[in-house]
Amino acid sequence: MSDTIKALRLNEPFGLNNIEVTELDDPGQPAAGEVRVSIKASSLNFHDYAVATGAMAPESGRIPMSDGAGIVEAVGPGVEEFEVGDTVVSTFFPRWLTGPASISDFNNTPGDGIDGYARQVVVRPTEFFTHQPKGYTHAESATLTTAGLTAWRALVVEGQIKPGDSVLVLGSGGVSVFACQIAKSLGATVYATSSSDAKLERYKKLGASHVFNYQDDADWGDSVYKASGGRGVDHVIEVGGPGTLPQSIKAVATGGHIALIGVLTGNQGEVPTAQLMAKQARLQGIIVGSRQHQQDFIRALEASDIKPVIDKVFAMQELSEAFRYEESGQHFGKICLTF
């Protein structure tokens, strides 16, 4: 065992040019209730980007990245859930184990309130991890912590999706692509938007039945509504925020569900409340999910043929380059890091 491990740190002034490759003391052996995990992969999320650029006001020296997947190297006394050699994936809210949402901040979220997974080895309590899905690579598993679980909770836990439902996904980031895959696997009809015709063709290959280029069709909410036969869609995966929410309300069915997941177009704005009320639709803010949600999601993945869509893979020390690629919006699905 080496005395040091490699890691990345965010230094002030925060920004993509100031992510430092450094060495840390090896964390040593796990205490009671802990596991030592060799981290093999992570994946990028908008939240990680916001932390790295300083928008989330991280502490100087923070180790970034909320998603981490790897191999258990050692277990502490009393640990029965994991064994040496198990493949594991991190949890976004390690203190939210089960039950209704109980957390409204990121104080204990790895890569934000506490140090994350841009490092070779961690020692953490067992609740910081679950088992990976059988047959998944480390990179594939690393996409589940944030993006995959958010889509699962929006559609299955909160949306109570059922065969025959319809789902609208916005854009082609990780959450939206996962939502398309989950919806199709559960017998739903998928509608998708993008500014890229090439990406819309990729959505068709994933099973989307109706696609809309929002640059060519500014009133895409009406177009979705018309394409649904004037009924509207049962579920909307709303990742844009104030800039897209009015169109999502146009698109949603009476009594439908809008999962407000992202704020890519800003943190606040006007909401057509009268139209939302007339639709009697449910607008619900969602941030990832609990450890139990993740375990349920992983069981579902093992019973399906869903594999995450990974657009591009970078090495850990190329994190700045990976974030710039994310920033460009070229990706379809997830961007991963391997260590």
The total domain count for the chain is: 2
Asked if 158 contacts 235 with a C-beta cutoff of 8 angstroms, the reply is: no
> Is the model more confident about 266 or about 118?
118
pLDDT, tens digit, for every residue of 257-268?
Answer: 999 997 766 677
Same structural domain, 136 and 164? no
**Cα gap 68→66, rounded to integer Å:** 7
The answer on pLDDT for 186 being more than 80 is yes
> What pLDDT does residue 267 have?
75
Query: Which range marks the domain in which residue 121 is found?
Result: 4-143+308-338
The answer as to whether 294 is a domain residue is no
Q: Rg (Cα) of the chain, in Å, rounded?
A: 20
Asked if 319 contacts 62 with a C-beta cutoff of 8 angstroms, the reply is: no
Secondary structure letter of residue 126 according to DSSP: G
Is the pTM here over 0.85, yes or no?
A: yes
pLDDT, tens digit, for every residue of 77-92?
Answer: 999 999 999 999 999 9
Query: What mean pLDDT value characterizes the chain?
Result: 96
| Burial class (CB within 10 angstroms; exposed 0-12, middle 13-18, buried 19+) of 160 | exposed
Same structural domain, 86 and 10? yes
Asked if 249 contacts 258 with a C-beta cutoff of 8 angstroms, the reply is: yes
Same structural domain, 90 and 198? no
Same structural domain, 262 and 312? no
Same structural domain, 152 and 139? no
Percent of the chain residues topping a pLDDT of 70: 99
Q: Which runs of consecutive H residues, i.e. helices, occur in 95-207?
A: 138-142, 149-152, 174-185, 197-206
The 10 Å Cβ neighbour count of residue 76 is 17
Same structural domain, 13 and 31? yes
**Cα gap 165→278, rounded to integer Å:** 21
**Cα gap 99→231, rounded to integer Å:** 33
- Residue appearing with tokens 């679980």: 149
The answer as to whether 40 is a domain residue is yes
Same structural domain, 61 and 136? yes
Amino acid at 209: S
Phi, psi of 58 (to 5 degrees): -75, 165
Same structural domain, 138 and 230? no
The answer as to whether 270 is a domain residue is yes
| CATH number reported for the structural domain that contains residue 33 in this entry | 3.90.180.10
Same structural domain, 210 and 101? no
HEC profile of 100-159: CCCCCCCCCCECCCECCCCECEEEEEHHHEEECCCCCCHHHHHCHHHHHHHHHHHHHHHC
Same structural domain, 136 and 152? no
Same structural domain, 119 and 243? no
Same structural domain, 156 and 69? no
pLDDT, tens digit, for every residue of 48-64?
Answer: 999 999 999 999 999 99
| CATH number reported for the structural domain that contains residue 197 in this entry | 3.40.50.720
